Amino acid sequence: MTRRDIGLALVLLSGCADAGGSDDAGVDDGSTGAEEVGESEAGSSTSTDSGGTSGETDSSTDSDESSSSDEDTGSEDTGSDDTGEDTGGEGEGIPEVSCGDVVFDEDSLHAAIAAAEPGDTICLEARDWPDLSLEITAEGSAEAPITIAAEFAGETFLTGEAAIAMAGSHVVVTGLVFRGGRTADEYLVDFQAGDLECFDCRLSNIAVLELDDIDDTKWVSMRGQRNRVDHNAFIGKANDGALLVVWRPDDGSDDHRIDHNYFAERPELGANGGETIRVGTSDQHESASRTVVEDNYFFESDGEIEIISNKSGENIYRRNVFESCAGLLTLRHGKDALVEDNVFLIGEVEGGGGVRIVDAGHRVINNYIEGCRGTSNNRGGIVLMLAHEDPELNGYQQVEDVLVANNTIVDCEQSLVFGGGSASVAPRELSLADNLIANGEFEVVREIVGLEDSVIAGNVYTGGALGQGDAQGFAVADPQLAQSGVMKRPGVGLDGVGGQGVDLDIDGAERASPPDVGADEVGTPLRAPVTREDVGPSFDFEVLRED
């Protein structure tokens, strides 16, 4: 089959919202953050989606622990540079450790930290360290960080009630294993000690294994600026509280980087507060965090609908893999996010999906989404949410000026949802272009409301019916998908309309003009999605779980 030019002109769909609204009162089992467990907001909707997962409710508003709000800092280009490329004063890989001082007891450890100078490395003896609450306040430099490390990576165990708090600058914590205990405080690892935060600090090459936490805890709390959390394994968090939280300051950006981590086996909580990552809080969502979350692997991260909860502006989520997760990457609040090159391998897990969109200015491009299941109108491949007419900071902001382009959605029960949730204001001024949907038996679009004043063009589908009254902007064609690694890639290129500024494909290859529809430009891939072997610590943490 030769290349086919779909030949679709841009179609401006103006004022096409369904006057009758949605017959499915939207349900949202995870729209609120970790802090709202057991709470409900006055005036919130608890309507049930007749097709949804049993027990889902839409609280419609959101509340968070932080109490102040600030203005949008106004950066306009979300994806123009790598905001987190070298935070933490280290390079890409796991920190190299050369133990200058091995300490054998807690008193010696505290004394060594108090006397630490830039370039010092303090190593904890390879053994169990029970009930260690460690406070690190130190000032390293970019060229000479202060490092707190295991004597041998993966052989120093923090057991019992453990916690680490670090403050200052250019501090690195690496090589430790938390297991067989619980969090000594609300936070297992906190980038703040007392009133002091950490800047250019790093948590790397550690494992946190199935702590016996009962109350609401966070395993990692990122504060300060330009910090990095990388090459760690976080396994089996079964209690309330987001696993990793970026806490926003009153002003300024965070510029953190979260990369090459393995997040796994987060069981469903049946309530809010089960996010794996949350970036920001509702009352800080109007300001820019500029946090980068990239090259992570999520496996069975089922805590709630929001695997990742975006609650701040100008963040980047790219090249992450989500395998067998019963949730979605959720842009809950905050403008101008970039969501690109992610791979969602849902494996027909009920409730699993791709990207859920609230608020304005986002770019959702080059994502591969396969195997969504569930009929809640909050779930699917890509879900465009309804908004409140005059939303509070913790409400639902209008979806507008959003680009959804060059995504591939395969075998999803609901590939595209127009108008998720139970609010009333339709998405507007979207560009939905050059997406490829191969659906087998399922309909392509669940249109609860139409998209107002929006451009829909160059999209291709095959398999099931379109499911949308107006077929403009969609055409039927067969991309001849075939399995290639973990993804199904097209055997032939089908031309889209282009013009969306999506210059590279999911593999980093340059796109032709006009570009192929979908995430993958036909040709030899330049890179593959990250695997479990590409992420996590340098040591075999699975063996440690069995000891």
**Cα 359 to Cα 472: distance, rounded to the nearest angstrom:** 25
**pLDDT value of position 185:** 82
User: What token pair was written down for 212?
Assistant: 């016996």
**Cα 333 to Cα 318: distance, rounded to the nearest angstrom:** 18
**Cα 192 to Cα 194: distance, rounded to the nearest angstrom:** 6
CATH of 101-490, picked from 2.160.20.10, 3.30.1520.10, 3.40.50.10140, 2.40.430.10, is 2.160.20.10
Q: Is 15 helix (H, G, I), strand (E, B) or coil?
A: coil
Which amino acid, residue 11?
V
Residue 108 backbone phi and psi in degrees, to 5: -65, -35
**Cα 31 to Cα 269: distance, rounded to the nearest angstrom:** 14
How many Cβ atoms from other residues are within 10 Å of residue 197's Cβ?
Answer: 21
* Positive or negative torsion for Cα 7, 11, 16, 21: positive
User: What token pair was written down for 346?
Assistant: 């849902």
**Cα 211 to Cα 213: distance, rounded to the nearest angstrom:** 6
**Residues near 91 by beta carbon (within 8 Å), at least 6 away in sequence:** none
**Cα 378 to Cα 304: distance, rounded to the nearest angstrom:** 12
Name the DSSP class of 404. E
* Positive or negative torsion for Cα 130, 123, 200, 534: negative
**pLDDT value of position 26:** 33
Beta partners for residue 288, in sequence order: 313
**pLDDT value of position 547:** 66
What are the domain boundaries of the chain?
101-490
Residue 543 backbone phi and psi in degrees, to 5: -65, -40
How many Cβ atoms from other residues are within 10 Å of residue 477's Cβ?
Answer: 16
**pLDDT value of position 286:** 87
> For the chain, which ranges sit under pLDDT 50?
1-90
**pLDDT value of position 452:** 95
**pLDDT value of position 108:** 97
Q: Give Dmax over CA atoms of the chain in angstroms.
A: 73
**Residues near 457 by beta carbon (within 8 Å), at least 6 away in sequence:** 8, 9, 10, 11, 432, 433, 434, 473, 497
